[in-house]
Amino acid sequence: MPDKTTISNATDYREIGEFWDAHDATEYGGQKPAEFHIDIRSHRHYFAIDGQLCLKIRQIANQRGISEEVFLNTIVREKIDQTEQTS
């Protein structure tokens, strides 16, 4: 590390670690105003699935070593592609 850090004056990562092991960030600097934007809209959509169908989805996904979400997205994507090709 060619430059020293501004707070710890450390010359390498080990010294930085030692410094922050002994200090708390609240000891340095005051609260400063900040502006930021948060988009809390969910990018997930939920659909009800029959209980027996859910068990089969879980079983097949587990057999393939993937999550139910990945399995369902793959199957739905394939069906949509097939539908669009025949339209």
Write down the pLDDT at residue 35.
85
Q: How far is CA 50 from CA 31, 57, 63, 70, in A?
A: 52, 10, 20, 18
In a domain, 57, yes or no: yes
Look up the domain containing 55 and give its range.
51-86
Write down the pLDDT at residue 26.
80
Query: Which tokens go with 65?
Result: 């070593």
Q: Are residues 55 and 81 in the same domain?
A: yes
Element housing 59 (H / E): helix 51-64
Q: Are residues 32 and 63 in the same domain?
A: no
pLDDT tens digits, residue range 27-38?
877 767 788 888
pLDDT tens digits, residue range 6-49?
777 888 888 888 888 998 878 877 767 788 888 777 678 889 99
